Structure 1
Amino acid sequence: MAVPRGCSECQVSLYGLQYILKEERPHCIKCYETLCCNNCVACHKLIGHTSKDVTFKDLHWHDDCFTCSKCSHPLVNQPFVTKDDMLVCTACYRNQFSAKCSACLRTILPGSKKMEHKGNSWHESCFTCKSCQQPVGTRSFVQKDANNYCLGCYGKHFALQCVHCEKPITTGGVSYYDQPWHKECFVCIGCKQQLAGQRFTSRDDSAYCFDCFCNLFAKKCANCTTPISGIGGSKYISFKQRQWHHDCFNCKRCCVSLVGRDFLSCNEDIFCPDCGKDI
């Protein structure tokens, strides 16, 4: 093979000199390194033509510079991870960045399955009920004193018992007359709708929604016949064992309000004094 006369970039004679072909064009060493070689991201020096160029994600290192940012262990041909754009060997990553199991306190290796809850992590095999030691997996559980319990064990050891169904209350209970109830068990004795968060009242130790209490026990207005609840400070008028809503206590004939005024009664009706003259 004939020696080329000169460098294809600077035209310097290559006779007796080392040169490199790049796309079949001869380059002197200086031009080749200037045009084709990369700088190391670790030491920032040129990776010369005699050095090994290690590449990762469009970045370049000398093979001697391609090391763990924590322990400086060489990473060429070794497994590694990146953390905040830094190279980290798997040992350092496990020690410094991997989650620790809240049960056995050992590192949860990257890629292995882990269970998480409220900022804590467990190996899948360590995520068990404190009482029965059975795996919790994806089942519902209750945490108490930093320990996990399946619903059955929690109910057996800690949970209050609903006075209605006698089953454990694990979440969202209601207290009524100092007794615990499930929300779904605390219902109106009349229509059975849930009362938690709703307006209700009681009679003979039984709870009623507002509508059922009014329909079952409230007196009826002599004028409109709808219940007079008396709940919430609503006003009503009582006269001879009959009751009226405050707004319903009006003259039968002219409809003027008789609240605080004289009136006349005839049979089941009431009249203002003017209208009562004609009775």
Structure 2
Amino acid sequence: MDSFKVVLEGPAPWGFRLQGGKDFNVPLSISRLTPGGKAAQAGVAVGDWVLSIDGENAGGLTHIEAQNKIRACGERLSLGLSRAQPAQSKPQKVGPPTPSPTSRPPWAVDPAFAERYAPDKTSTVLTRHTQPATPTPMQNRTSIVQAAAGGGPGGGSGSNGKTPVCHQCHKVIRGRYLVALGHAYHPEEFVCSQCGKVLEEGGFFEEKGSIFCPPCYDVRYAPSCAKCKKKITGEIMHALKMTWHVHCFTCAACKTPIRNRAFYMEEGVPYCERDYEKMFGTKCRGCDFKIDAGDRFLEALGFSWHDTCFVCAICQINLEGKTFYSKKDKPLCKSHAFSHV
């Protein structure tokens, strides 16, 4: 990991978005850059870990605390960053990518964890898993069937030439036997510890030393969906500190499963990026771009403005904190208050 420091000269916008924070159990990092923005020009890259903000260790900051710390920097923002070096390895065959857990705030606007300032929203965590609920059980199906007659492999696992002994009844096995989890079993004694079903022809789960058939494992250990209350098998969605079937965690507007995409929360329900922006999105009145994380903004004339966009419509002088006039919803300085717009 290479650590370095960048200093951005103000005023905002700084041209980047954050992801993570102590409240998400994910380190702060850069999720998105504005092309040609101040952060991009300073060499900041998407994925850089944020170690410090204005000299303060960022490891203990929540997402909102980090945003507020950035806004308080004023005309000069100092960031301590760390960047992982690409691993050098020989080419090898790569299988299908495995989705990994991700954390996203409710105002994220792209799959790279982009964020927006929305102090009235509730922070959430979204993760996606394709494995059974943790702790992930061992799922095995034994198909090793051997005959003890004629000096076949034996012992507890049939590996040292001795007659095999059943791990369940501790009796010598004469005839066919199964090998599973390193032990030999009579086929009729390798059963689900819950329902007693013989597992010779089916898969099984091992959990805390006990063996279960898939249906019994699901009933006993699989998590329940927060919406339909049914047990979840296979792919699990973790969001809002709850577990969901993928098809149960959907956009409130278009009903499309959100899966591992970004989403917004509004009045307790999730929205996909497209529908949220359509229904609730906030843009700067001056530049018509979104007001992003790290951007200072103000409310005036019934609209939201980047602090650098709230300027006189005639001479472009910045009006933040100054007396101003308005004509046709456009701000004017005192000198041009009666000018033609």
What TM-score bracket applies, with the shorter chain setting the length?
0.3 to 0.5
Q: Between Structure 1 and Structure 2, whose CA radius of gyration is higher? A: 1
TM-score computed with the length of structure 1 as normaliser:
0.48
